[in-house]
């Protein structure tokens, strides 16, 4: 004996189309993610804890004068911005000088590149950032 089963998949098709529409028009979500990452990156200048969860090595200025590393002028912290489109979010500093890159990645500096600056990653995804972003993505997909 054969068994037949019929099901109207119209509601399922609507849901799949809605999800596809949301994912192809995700600028609002990516703006939220960008803002979250911008805030997280700026907060690292207060905590001195990098995106990798490790404390930044103290700068020579801080060792001699006190204060906080990468906070002498606040210029780098305040330069952090983001840009979001329907399929991309980018975060960083628009400075064309070496400052952001050398502080993020570390490297040789000074005359003859004899001094070495340690990496102090201020942009990046911490475990907490990833949890917050996951929650935002789930909320975006499941709500509205």
- 1 pLDDT band, cuts 50/70/90, is low
Summarize pLDDT for 117-139 with one digit per residue, the tens.
999 999 999 999 999 999 999 99
Which segment of 36-50, 69-83, 85-99 scores lowest on mean pLDDT? 85-99
Q: pTM of the prediction?
A: 0.81
Specify the range with the lowest mean pLDDT, choosing from 18-22, 62-66, 89-93: 18-22
Rg of the chain over Cα atoms, rounded to whole angstroms, equals 22
What's the average model confidence in pLDDT over 43-64?
Answer: 95
The residue with tokens 């109207």 is 8
Residue 137: which residues within 8 A CB-CB, separation 6 or more?
A: 29, 33
């Amino acid at each position: 004996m054969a068994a037949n089963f019929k099901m109207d998949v119209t509601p399922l098709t609507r849901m799949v189309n809605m999800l596809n529409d949301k994912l192809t028009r995700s600028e609002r979500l990516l703006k939220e993610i960008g803002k979250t990452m911008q805030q997280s990156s700026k907060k690292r200048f207060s905590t001195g804890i990098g995106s990798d969860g490790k404390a930044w090595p103290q700068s020579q200025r801080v060792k001699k004068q006190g204060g906080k590393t990468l906070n002498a002028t606040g210029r780098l912290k305040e330069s952090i911005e983001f840009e979001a489109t329907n399929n991309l979010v980018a975060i960083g500093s628009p400075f064309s000088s070496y400052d952001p890159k050398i502080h993020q990645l570390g490297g040789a500096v000074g005359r003859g590149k004899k001094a070495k600056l340690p990496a102090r990653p201020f942009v990046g995804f911490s475990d907490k950032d990833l949890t917050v972003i996951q929650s935002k993505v789930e909320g975006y997909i499941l709500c509205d």
